[in-house]
Amino acid sequence: VRRAVLTRMAWVRRQQARFLTQERQSKRLYRSGETHYVWGRPLRLEVVEWNRRKHKIAVLGNDRLSMNSPLNSSRDQRATWMAAWRRAELRMVSAPKVQKWSEILGVTPSKWGSCNAAKGIVWLNTELSAKPINATDYVILHELAHLISDRHDDQFVAVLNQHMP
């Protein structure tokens, strides 16, 4: 097996390099029929153009994500609206979780999102709203644990193991 792998090492390296340059997700066009993940669930996007100046995004049932957008809106506009909607969803879900974990850990962040331990600031990536909702608890705990230890040292790992073994 070792000889077989070694004789094909150049091919393996080319495949690894090719894999690293691949996009992880196709570019979103924000058109009807695309699949977008919301809290870990794949939802089929339904874009409806309407004669209003405002847009509206909502989850419909268990399988659809509706985006009502002004006539002739661009892909970039729809992408901006979707990002803002994801941010709002993430804030709504994570704010109580940040509060809960802050109280459990006895820390006080001044914002929430990655972590700047010196300033007590945590930021959350809006893509977290595409992941299963229980991942939010782990990411929040992980970032708030940096307010106890700013490195991934034994103290940091002990905090995670104590609350999410």
Res 110: pLDDT? 66
Q: What is the pLDDT of residues 110-133, one digit of tens each?
A: 666 578 888 888 888 888 999 999
Q: Following DSSP, what letter does each residue of 66-124 receive, concatenated?
A: EEEEETT--HHHHHHHHHHHHHHHHHHHHHHHHHHHHHHHT---SB-EEEETTTTEEE-
Can you give the residue ranges of every domain in the chain?
22-163
More confident residue, 9 or 19: 9
Q: What is the pLDDT of residues 67-99, one digit of tens each?
A: 999 999 999 999 999 999 999 999 999 999 999
The token pair at 17 is: 């390099």
Q: What is the pLDDT of residues 31-74, one digit of tens each?
A: 999 999 999 999 999 999 999 999 999 999 999 999 999 999 99
Question: 163 vs 69, 153, 160, CA distance in Å?
Answer: 43, 16, 5
Mean pLDDT of 15-43: 89
Distance CA 9, CA 3 (A): 10
